[in-house]
Amino acid sequence: MNHARSAALQQRAESLLPGGVDSPVRAFRAVGGHPPFVTRGQGAYLWDEDGNRYIDYFGSWGPMILGHAFPPAVEAIQAAATRSASFGASTAAEGDLAELVVKAFPSIEKLRFVSSGTEATMSAIRLARAFTGRKYIIKFEGCYHGHSDGLLVKAGSGVATFSIPGSAGVPDEIAHLTLALPFNDLDAVQKAFATYKDQIAAIIVEPVVGNAGTIPPGHGYLEALRALTTVEGALLIFDEVMTGFRLSLGGAQELYRIQPDLTTLGKIVGGGLPCAAFGGRAEIMNQLAPLGPVYQAGTLSGNPLAMAAGIATVGYLVKHRVEVYAQLESVTDTVANGVAAEASKAGIAMTTNRVGAMWTWFFTGSPVTDYASAAQSDTATFAVFHRAMMEQGIWLPCSQYEAAFLGIAHSIADAEATIAASRKAFASVAE
């Protein structure tokens, strides 16, 4: 593959943007090789500045469940743009998308739109503290909830990729209010509630972890978190920025039949435009200004282009939910298991974790149930595998600690091409 143009653009970008990027993992530091500069996407494919084509398995880190340039979404965005990119005033579209969300997520009675997942989780935490009158929160090691100060403690995604325990610039006084516990360990949660009796406002959790790589909840774990928070008077916040509309229309909470008090959504809800939301029980949401004392606002919140893309995307998922989720399950199963079988034939230790159209190939022979076990993965071997796949036009997430995603545009033929490419990639890993 030729990478000359991307390499030149990277050089220019590095002189202007820290690390040449606007979000750290895009720099490919964990895997090496050239970060391709993208010119366009269509369906399951991306093209770079040098004309190389890739099967896309990261889907803009989650939103592109209907594939790139999905015609109904493109048309909706174009039509909205002709009426103006932004008003800073209320539109019917906000209610239209809110109705779709509330129907898909019965635990959400009211919601507010924001522009990123970071804002959604940050605002949900503020609301939980105000509602309970308590200050501590519990999060889990390896879960990433965006880059607000209190949520960067032992976080996943890029924070895990670059082995940063917490970010510089976060005062200890703020980090101390976040209790970071191992995922899938109920004892740790019980002990925290005992030690900080009546002081814990909320548990925030990725119900299926995606940001340490994919880690499903153990049997009964989410149910126990629900029961414990109820008994202790704390709120349960499901961060479904990644899992919402992906694992099923109603996200992980539908799949595992749990009703959280608050839910955060992002990625798919805006169909690839900057859009996210947080919502839950009306008595909690009514604490937000202008009704209540919790301040939260946004110049571009409920942006008309984002609402249009969200309505087109979520509307399609609602209308075609049975076929969509059946197809996602079957194509993901084919590619996830097919590549795992090639690893096993090549004698490479690998653990495959998958829930619906979200999965990770961990380069370790041991089960991965929390961040500590994910961190046992051989990241150097993952990097060789990643580069070998890129060179064959298969673009996987560029860190071991990220989930891969697939959308409805991916075909069985794409899955088979990926499995064939992995055979060659594993041969280069073994060399």
Residues 258-277 that bind ligand PLP (CB under 6 A): 266, 276
Q: Give the per-residue contact string, 346-385, with ligand PLP (x = CB under 6 A; - = no).
A: ----------------------------------------
Round to whole Å and give the CA distance between 56 and 43.
9
Nearer to ligand PLP, 358 or 383 (CB): 358
Residues 61-80 that bind ligand PLP (CB under 6 A): 61
Query: How many residues in the shown chain lie near ligand PLP by CB under 6 A?
Result: 17
CB atoms within 10 A of CB 430: 11
Q: What tokens appear for 10 in the block?
A: 């990277």
Sequential DSSP letters for 273-331 = SS-EEEEE-HHHHTTBTTTSSB----TTTT-HHHHHHHHHHHHHHHHTHHHHHHHHHHH
Q: Which region, judged by CB under 6 A, interacts with ligand PLP, from 7-15, 206-214, 322-330, 331-339? A: 206-214
Decide if 130 contacts 344 (C-beta within 8 A): no
- The sheet that has 351-355: what strands, in order across it? 351-355, 358-362, 404-405
The one-character DSSP state at 25 is G
Q: Is the peptide bond before 290 cis (omega within 30 degrees of 0)?
A: yes
Q: Which residue has the tokens 């995604």?
A: 157
Nearer to ligand PLP, 238 or 426 (CB): 238
Determine, following the binding rule CB under 6 A, whether residue 10 of this chain makes contact with ligand PLP: no
Round to whole Å and give the CA distance between 294 and 182.
30
Nearer to ligand PLP, 210 or 279 (CB): 210
Position with the least CB separation from ligand PLP: 117
With the CA atoms of 256, 64, 10 and 211 taken in that order, what torsion angle do they form, in degrees rounded to the nearest 10? 0
Determine, following the binding rule CB under 6 A, whether residue 211 of this chain makes contact with ligand PLP: yes
Question: Residue from 55, 97, 100, 242 that binds ligand PLP (CB under 6 A)?
Answer: 242
Q: Which helix (H) or strand (E) holds 118?
A: helix 117-132
Residue 181 β-bridge partners? 140
Round to whole Å and give the CA distance between 264 and 262.
7
Q: Which residue has the tokens 């929160």?
A: 137
Determine, following the binding rule CB under 6 A, whether residue 206 of this chain makes contact with ligand PLP: yes
The one-character DSSP state at 102 is H
Round to whole Å and give the CA distance between 211 and 242.
9
- Residues present in the chain in total: 431
Nearer to ligand PLP, 41 or 244 (CB): 244
In the complex, the smallest distance separating the C-beta of residue 115 from ligand PLP, rounded to whole angstroms, is 8
Q: Which region, judged by CB under 6 A, interacts with ligand PLP, from 112-120, 326-334, 339-347, 355-363? A: 112-120
Round to whole Å and give the CA distance between 242 and 214.
11
Q: Which region, judged by CB under 6 A, interacts with ligand PLP, from 94-102, 175-183, 236-244, 313-321? A: 236-244
Question: Residue from 52, 121, 123, 178 that binds ligand PLP (CB under 6 A)?
Answer: 121
Enumerate the active-site residues. Answer: 144, 239, 267
Nearer to ligand PLP, 148 or 376 (CB): 148
CB atoms within 10 A of CB 130: 17
Determine, following the binding rule CB under 6 A, whether residue 94 of this chain makes contact with ligand PLP: no
Q: Which region, judged by CB under 6 A, interacts with ligand PLP, from 116-124, 325-333, 345-353, 417-425? A: 116-124
Determine, following the binding rule CB under 6 A, whether residue 37 of this chain makes contact with ligand PLP: no
Residues 140-199 that bind ligand PLP (CB under 6 A): 144-146, 157
Q: Which region, judged by CB under 6 A, interacts with ligand PLP, from 124-132, 234-242, 296-304, 411-419? A: 234-242
In the complex, the smallest distance separating the C-beta of residue 278 from ligand PLP, rounded to whole angstroms, is 11
Provide the binding-site residues for ligand PLP, judged by CB under 6 A.
61, 116-118, 121, 144-146, 157, 206, 210-211, 239, 241-242, 266, 276
